[in-house]
Structures are given as C-alpha cells and as structure tokens.
Amino acid sequence: MLPLAEFRVLDHNAVALGTDLGELMETAGKAVADALRERFPHAQHIIVACGSGNNGGDGFVTARLLADAGLEVAVVLAGEPRSAISRRARDRWKGEVHPPQALAKLLSGADVAVDALLGSGLRGELREPYREMVTVLNDGPTVVAMDVPSGLGLPEAVVPKLTVTFHAMKEGMDTASCGEIIVADIGSPSSDELHFIIVHQNFELWFKLVISELRAARDILDRDYVAETRIPRAVHHLRRVIETFRLMAQQWKVMETLTPQDFLNFRDKLGTASGFESLQMREMEALLGPQLLDGKPREMDGPAEPRPLVAVVGDWLARTPIMGSAPGDAGDDAVVARFIEDYLAAHAMLGAETAERYGGSPKVRARFAAEAEGAREFFADGDRVDRARAGLLFIESYRELPLLAWPRRLVDTVVELEQQMVLWRSAHARMVERIIGRRIGTGGSSGVDYLDMTTRYRIFVDLWAVRTLLMKKEALPNLRQPNFYGFAGES
C-alpha cells in the first residue's frame, strides 16, 4: 500500500517512459467496465457520475464500453473536463451528458452507479456540486467506485460495494470504506520501470548542471584577454563538472541492481528509445566540441555550437607568452619558432640517447626517429608553428613558473574532465553489458560495442598528445626572460 502522492508521480513517470496517458485511461475504463459486468451480470441500467479530472475521463471510457456492450447507460457530469485526454474521452461518448441536478432522478431507475467523480488527487474538503453528488450516490443503488471512492478519508465519502483500483492499493483503502477491492493492472510502471526512469531522470538533471557549468567556464575563457585572476573561476566551474561526472559514473551502480530479467520484462515498452537521444546530452557534447577518433570526427546529430570549449581553450593557449613573447609582439613568430626548434633538437637527441640505452638496434632507432618526426609534424602549421600547441608545450614544460601556475592547473583540469567523461562512458558500457549482454541496443545501435567505441573518442586531443612529447626538466631549452614569469635570474 503506497501513499496517494506516489500514484500521482506514476502518471508522470509513465509518460517519461513513453506510455500514452490516453491508453492508460482506456485500460482503466475497461477494467471497471469488465469488473462491473462480471460482478453484476444482471445489471442493465447504469449511471456513471463523472468529475472534471482524469477520473471523470476514465468514467467516460467505462460508459462508452458498457453502452457498446448493449447496456443502457447515462452520464452525469460535475464539470467540464480539464485535461486534453479527458476531453477526448468525453468527445468519444456519443450519448447525452446530464447536469448534476439530474443525478437523483436518474439513479431512481438504475441498477448500478459508477463513482468516477474524484480520484486519488483530492485535496481538502468536498466542494459543490461534488458534496451533493456524493450524498445522492450513497442514497441510490449499488455503487462501483473507480480507483478510490470519492472523498476517501473524509467524513462525507462515497461508500461503494466494489472498488476497482489501479496498479496497487492506495493509502487509506480498506473493505470498510471501499467494499470489495479489485486491483487492476493498467500498465503503469512497475517498481523496476520506476527505478529505470528515475535513474535516467537524474542524469537529465546532472546534464543540466554540466551544461550550465561548461558555459560559465567557456564564457570566462572566450575573451581576447583573460586576466590571470579569472582563470581560477574557470577551473572552479570545470571541477564541478568533473565531480558531477564522477557521481554519474557511480550512479550506474544503482542501475546495476536491475537484473537482466527485470529489464527484459519492460524493455519492449522502450521501443526505439535510446539514452543517446537525450537532447541535453547532445547539447553537452556540442558544447565541449567535436569528438575525434584517429583524426576523424564522430558524426553527430543535434544543435551545433559556434564556440565549443575545445576551440576556446585552443585560442587561449595560442595567447600564451612563450619565452617572454606574446602574440603581436615584434618578432613573436621568430621567438616561437626558435623555442620549438630548440625543443625538437633536444627531444631528438634525448630520443637517440634512449635508443642506444635500449640496445641501439635499427628497429629501436627507427622507432625513436619516427617519434621525433611525429613531434615535428605535431607543431607544424604550414610554414609556421602552431602557436596553440607551442603554448601548450610551454605551459607543460615550465609549469613551475608562478605565472603559469593557474594555466597549468586549467590544462590539467580540462584533461581530468575528459578523463572522467570517458570513465563515465566506460561505466555505462559495463552496466549495459552486465544487464543485456551484447544484444542490439534499444535505439538500433550495436549496443555495448557502440558504447565501447564512444570511450575511444577524444575532444581535447592536443592536451593528451603533448604528453607523449614532454621531456625531463634538465633537457629543456634554457628559459629566456624568467622575470616575465615571476622569477628573477639569468636569461
């Protein structure tokens, strides 16, 4: 037996799962019509008292089905239907609709009355015309209540001989107040479905937070000049995203309490729905930037983002002062090119020395030579040096400099953000494999194979790639203009 409030939530969750509330109304109305005909086979004259809410819509369905079965049915309506599905149910009723004042007279010739006035959503006292209609129903023939007797728990309530309730017993129901009770399964979510829905609804809430924090960080960095005092705030927003992804990865543990058979019992209801159809997830991915695998972008549906975070971070890196020279300074291109040439020369020498330590075989030498050539290609931008990549290398190489402390932390935070996102995707894949194995996904994808593939994509490719090229501190080119970065010393 559950509180009434829980059942109001079920309708909303049924919609989230893809259930049509109109279909639920049809099923509920049929359950009452079937129970009435089974329990009272000789009843021929039926009065259905309908309220203005969805309970009244259920009543119109019952009236229509009983009339279609050949019974004489009259409907009394307390007030015009408030919801679209109740109005549709009323429109499908082809008989006359009587006002509340006609109820007593109609009941005098009836065999059974159906109470479809008020359902489990009643709050407060009965108001007119419901108060009078409840009194009239209690003075009339046998009553069958739909879901719960109108006014359940109040001094003035319908006292039926039979109550057909939906999904499960509601709080306050007993035979004294409800008569015989039949629990009808009308297709509302089971506890396993509710569990599935709530976990995914939680993800949507976290996605909303992630989008907000990513936009805040992106907007701080998307300036021609970003003050050093603003970078900690951007890091703060990104760290909140990291912790949210960490929490979401653990949230799959809750989903894993669903057994394979539990999921299969309602999987067909999902149809072609897929978690990757989430609009907020698509918005989040677009805000981060294009996802690449072996240099090729992943095909993405959904809204495009003109200034994704990856582009903004790249522009910010390109403004990094390198050896004391900033973009726009006289001779900046030459300073940057010299830094990269000095770095690549030291990198190649270090590689050659390492190759000799590893035995010096032609195969080992060729491997280190290819790595040196790959490093040169990484920094090339036509005839010039890619300044964003050079700035990234400078931050990573001289990360102990005071002026680079927060830039270095920002770079590390972005890498950690993507790492947590990958771990979240990996946890998702393992959860899915545990529950459905390697069957086709609900959205028609390859299921676990598709999810595993998403863990290989990277957005901030350069931030990962530069780590392959880093050298130990003593091998680095000598720092020029150290006082520019907060240290005094020889240049």
Q: Which amino acid belongs to residue 452?
A: D
Which range has the worst mean pLDDT, 94-98, 188-192, 279-283?
188-192
Q: Which of 67, 31, 28 is nearest to 48 (CA)?
A: 67
| pLDDT for res 120 | 74
| pLDDT for res 6 | 53
| pLDDT for res 448 | 87
Contacts of 74 (CB under 8 A, 6+ apart): 46, 47, 48, 95, 96, 98, 106, 110
The listed CATH number (3.40.50.2300, 3.40.640.10, 1.20.58.480, 3.30.420.40) that belongs to domain 191-485: 1.20.58.480
| pLDDT for res 489 | 45
Task: Determine the average pLDDT of the residues in 253-257.
Answer: 91
In the predicted model, what is the mean pLDDT of the chain?
A: 89
| pLDDT for res 487 | 53
- Give the pair of three-digit tokens for residue 241: 């995203």
| pLDDT for res 338 | 97
Task: Determine the average pLDDT of the residues in 171-188.
Answer: 87
Q: Which of 215, 220, 216 is nearest to 316 (CA)?
A: 220
pLDDT digits (tens, 9 = 90+) for 45-67: 999 999 999 999 999 999 999 99
pLDDT digits (tens, 9 = 90+) for 357-385: 998 899 999 999 999 999 999 999 999 99
Task: Determine the average pLDDT of the residues in 110-135.
Answer: 89
Q: Is the pLDDT of residue 276 over 60?
A: no
Q: Are 210 and 245 in contact (CB under 8 A)?
A: yes
Q: Is the pLDDT of residue 200 over 60?
A: yes
What does the domain layout of the chain look like in residue ranges?
4-184, 191-485
| pLDDT for res 447 | 76
Model confidence band, residue 403 (pLDDT cutoffs 50, 70, 90)? very high
Q: What are the CA-CA distances from residue 75 to residues 79, 399, 440 (Å)?
A: 12, 80, 49
Q: What are the CA-CA distances from residue 331 to residues 35, 325, 336, 342, 404 (Å)?
A: 90, 8, 9, 17, 22
| Alpha-carbon 226 to chain mean position | 33
Does 439 or 312 have the greater pLDDT score? 312
| pLDDT for res 9 | 53
Which range has the worst mean pLDDT, 99-103, 122-126, 334-338, 343-347?
122-126
Q: Which residues pair with 181 in a beta bridge?
A: 163
Q: CA-CA distance, 283 to 319, in Å (whole number)?
A: 28
pLDDT digits (tens, 9 = 90+) for 232-252: 999 999 999 999 999 999 999
Whether omega before 41 lies within 30 degrees of 0, making that bond cis, reads no
Q: Is the pLDDT of residue 271 over 60?
A: no
Q: CA-CA distance, 23 to 8, in Å (whole number)?
A: 16
Which range has the worst mean pLDDT, 1-5, 255-259, 452-456?
1-5
Model confidence band, residue 266 (pLDDT cutoffs 50, 70, 90)? confident
**Domain 4-184 annotated CATH 3.40.50.10260:** yes
**Number of Cβ atoms within 10 Å of the Cβ of 241:** 26
| pLDDT for res 443 | 58
| pLDDT for res 261 | 83
Share of the chain above pLDDT 70, in %: 90
* pTM reported for the whole predicted model: 0.66
Task: Determine the average pLDDT of the residues in 378-404.
Answer: 95
Does 381 or 486 have the greater pLDDT score? 381
Q: Is the pLDDT of residue 193 over 60?
A: yes
| pLDDT for res 102 | 96
Write out 374-408 in H/E/C secondary structure.
HHHHHHEECCEECHHHHHHHHHHHCCCCHHHHHHH
Q: Is 42 exposed, middle or buried (0-12, 13-18, 19+ CB in 10 A)?
A: exposed
Task: Determine the average pLDDT of the residues in 124-134.
Answer: 90
In this structure, the strands spanning 296-297 and 292-293 are antiparallel
